[in-house]
Structure formats: structure tokens, C-alpha cells
Amino acid sequence: MTPALLVVDDSEDNRYTLTRLLGREGYTDVTTADDGQQAMARLRERRFDLVLLDIMMPEMNGYEVLEAVRADALLRHIPIIVISAVDQTDSVVRCVQLGADDYLTKPFNSVLLRARIAASLDRKQLHDELAELNRTLKQRVQDQVSQIERLGRLRRVVSPHLAELIVAGETDNPLETHRRQITVAAVDLLGFTALAETAEPEEVMSVLREFHAEMGALILTHEGTLERFTGDGMMVFFNDPAPVPNPAERAIRMALAMRDRVAVLATRWAKLGYTLALRVGIAHGYATLGAIGFEGRWDYGAVGTVTGLAARLCAEAEGGQVLVTSRVANAVEGLIEQRDVGALALRDFLKPVPTVHVLGLRA
């Protein structure tokens, strides 16, 4: 079924540009609205799978639309990507707090927009299927053919082994709210923005597919859980949904394996004119995990500073660097070769964070 998209923008030129871009990407079911009030009327008239929302609009602005959508039990499950000329941290934070799934600034990069749209629609479909799988466990046991088909889809969200345990009822439902210590690895492909601005879209998507395939295999090998893709980046949890021994060690081993694999890929990419390198940030701490969303749209995610800390460390890292908190380094003392970076002042964190650069594993 073709996904239904709603483009909300008070600029006719912006609506035309977005609609034309979406049409070229195969999204033929696109509806437009020129202000927030019209957008709410459209949303109540029919079902939409994704909303592309402007912020600065007359009558009813994007913030008010976000608030109204998330307050409506029939609409709150719809993913919303904000596309705004407002390039301020306060605006981004406010939109996220109000329930936006993503935020892009104008003028937007068309390749990144394509990737974000595809990722949002794919996550919505996969997590809806995950919720359905867990709600109908007894029925799936009775219907083996349907079980196998859905199990294959579930394996795209969690590791194959964990997927089988969930289906068999041998582990807790990962969507139930729970609190646990986890290790979080934030992974990013440095240089991708420059690539997306200069290379052809087909070339960019080819690099992304290769990157995702190689990194995905390493995530499964080290028993991590991919929480989400963000185009050229990803966030991986260890010790949830299923507990694993030595989560910090697994995260570091995975990160180093990723770094080395991307170094090999980068050599080939360099021959094509692409300068890319991997950077990773790793943190450890408590988080509240489980279902985020409402009936009809469940996302598995974590709430806690540990995810933000990993992301900030990743943003500070240079190409080829794996930056970890001193807490993570202490948990694997004797396993790694390291260099102290010192206490880094990270955005959104009041106190500097003692940080270590992991050079490699000790022989």
C-alpha cells in the first residue's frame, strides 16, 4: 500500500518543491495544507502515515499542530518530521519535547530528507508489526506459517535469537516499561553530509546500504540491539531487551570492529572520491526502556541521559575515534589500550565528562 503523506507549509513554492520531490521518490499519495488549521482538518478527514510540518505559519503554527496531534488519541501515532527555516536549538528541543520524530532545517538536503522519510516509515511499519506480534502470541503459536513470516520481519528489529525468545514467550516483552543499566553506542559516519551534498543520490544510497549492511552484521555478532537508524548514524543498546554479560566490553569490541571494517570500506570509497570515517561514542548508565508512543504506533526506545551522553561523545569524536566515558573504560580495565582525553564540556551537560579514547584491544 502506498504511504499517505501530508505536507504542511504556508509557502506555495515549498509545498510544490516537496510534493515534486516526493513524487519522484514514488510517494504518489501526497496531500497538502497551507496552514495548521487546514492541516488538522485534513488529518481528521483521512488516515496519514507521515506528516512533513513547517513551524512558522499563520493562524496555527507548527508547535500548536504538534501539540494538538499528540493530544488526540486518534492522531498521536502519526510520525511527524519538522522542516523549518528556524535553525535554533531551542526550536529543535521544543519540537522534540512536543513529539516530533525528526527535525530538518531549510534549505534541506534532499538526500537526507529521503533517508529520514524512508527510515520513519520503515520504523513505523516494523514497530507496529512488533506490537502486533506480542499481542497475538497464542494465535501465532497456533498458526505456524504466519509466525514464520512475522518472525522474519521481527528479526529486522532485534537479533534473531532474541526474536525467537520473544515469539516463544521465553523472555519479557521488550515493550513493557522497565528500568535497567545499559551500555549505549552512538555511531556516525563522519563526512557523510559533504558526500550527500556533492554526490548523486544513487551513489549516496549505495554507500548507505553498504554501511548499514556491514554494521548490522557486527551488531548482531556482538548481541547488540539496534534502537534506531538516523541515516548515516545509528544507536545500539547492550543489556536490553535481553540482559547480556559484560555489556561495556561487547560495546567496545563492536565499536572497534566497526571502526576497522569502515577503514577497509573507506579505502574503496576514497577511490570513488568519498572521504568517510567512523566515529563512536559509548556511555553506560541507567535508563527507562520500553514502548514509546500510543496504541497503533509503538516505538522501542530509552529515556535517560545515557543516550544523550553517547550521542554527544560521538559528535566530539574525530574520524576513527572511539570515545568512551571513564566509567566505561574502568569497566573494561586491562582489556583496552587507551589515551585519556580529559574532561570534555559537552552540550546539554552541566559538568565536564571525563573521557577516554579507546585505541584498541590489548594483545
Q: Is pLDDT above 70 for 107?
A: yes
Task: Write out the residue limits of the CATH 3.30.70.1230 domain(s) in the chain.
Answer: 178-361
User: What is the rounded average pLDDT of the residues 256-260?
Assistant: 96
Helix (H) or strand (E) holding 235: strand 233-238
Is 70 exceeded by the pLDDT of residue 40? yes
Average pLDDT over residues 138-156: 52
pLDDT tens-place string over residues 266-313: 999 999 899 999 999 999 999 888 767 666 555 667 888 999 999 999
Please report which residue ranges of the chain form alpha helices under DSSP H. 12-24, 36-45, 62-71, 89-98, 110-135, 137-142, 144-154, 160-168, 192-198, 201-221, 247-271, 305-316, 326-331
What is the reported pLDDT for 157? 47
Phi-psi sector, 140: left (phi>0), alpha (psi -120 to 50), beta: alpha
* DSSP for 28-48, written as a single string: -EEEEESSHHHHHHHHHHS--
Neighbours of 290 (CB within 10 A): 22
Q: Give the phi and the psi of residue 47 in degrees, each rounded to 5.
A: -85, 135
Question: Higher pLDDT residue, 75 or 136?
Answer: 75
**CATH class of segment(s) 4-108:** alpha beta
The pTM of the full predicted model, rounded to 2 decimals, is 0.55
pLDDT, residue 155, reads 53
pLDDT (0 to 100) of residue 153:
46
Amino acid at 112: L
Q: What is the mean pLDDT of residues 213-235?
A: 86
CA distances from 315 to 25, 113, 230, 265 (A): 30, 20, 14, 21
Report the alpha-carbon distance of residue 116 to residue 9 in Å, rounded: 18
Question: With 70 as the cut, is the pLDDT of residue 170 above it?
Answer: no
Distance CA 216, CA 234 (A): 10
* pLDDT attached to residue 304: 87
- Which CATH entry fits the domain spanning 178-361: 3.40.50.970, 3.40.50.2300, 1.20.140.10, 3.30.70.1230? 3.30.70.1230
| Mean pLDDT over each residue of the chain, to the nearest integer | 85
Strand partners, 30: 5
pLDDT digits (tens, 9 = 90+) for 318-357: 999 999 999 999 999 889 999 999 999 999 899 999 999 9
CATH 3.40.50.2300 maps onto the chain at 4-108
Report whether pLDDT(94) > 60.
yes
- Taking residues 89-94, report their average pLDDT: 89
Is 171 a residue whose pLDDT tops 60? Answer: no
